[in-house]
Structure 1
Amino acid sequence: MTDLRFDDSPVRPARRGSIFRRDRQNGKIFGVCAGMADALDIDVTLVRVAWIAGTLLGFGSLLLIYLAIALIAD
């Protein structure tokens, strides 16, 4: 039997986009959109534009959701 616990394969770095965390360094206000873009592995500009459009079309309801995420997320 072979021992599969100690193989010679290289260790792969953790894939970005696996866990949502606020990105305070790349964020503009609280880093929520930057964190979402990082978790979804898409451009942060697309997330920001979608968030602004959703806020305007939803009569500000996404603004409350944004604030809730900013307070709840790490």
Structure 2
Amino acid sequence: MNSIDNRFTRSRSHRMIAGVMGGIAKRYGWDANLLRIIFVVVSVLSAAFPGIIVYLILWLLMPEAND
């Protein structure tokens, strides 16, 4: 794995909205759908607002992958 593979990027192929969860899942070798479910559950349990803000920040900061 080289340094380019080591960074977080938004997925083009595993996206539902912006590819943030797909990119994180790909980076760590996790299942993207399971990560999405966990993210939604944690967001709802924390009153949803912080989860939405985190997602939007990641959307802005993570570059799109060159898949």
TM-score when normalising by structure 2: 0.79
Give the root-mean-square deviation of aligned CA atoms.
1.5
- Identity, % of aligned positions: 25
Which fold has the larger relative contact order, with Cα–Cα distance below 8 Å and residues 6 or more apart in sequence?
A: 2
Structure 2: runs of 5 or more not aligned:
none
1:34 aligns to 2:15 (yes or no): no
TM-score when normalising by structure 1: 0.72
Match of 1:54 among 13, 32, 42: 42
In our comparison, the structure showing a higher alpha carbon Rg is 1
When you count helix as a share of all residues, which structure comes out higher? 2
1:48 deviates by 0.4
Contact 2:22 2:32 in 1 (8 A): yes
Number of positions where the alignment pairs a residue of Structure 1 with one of Structure 2: 60
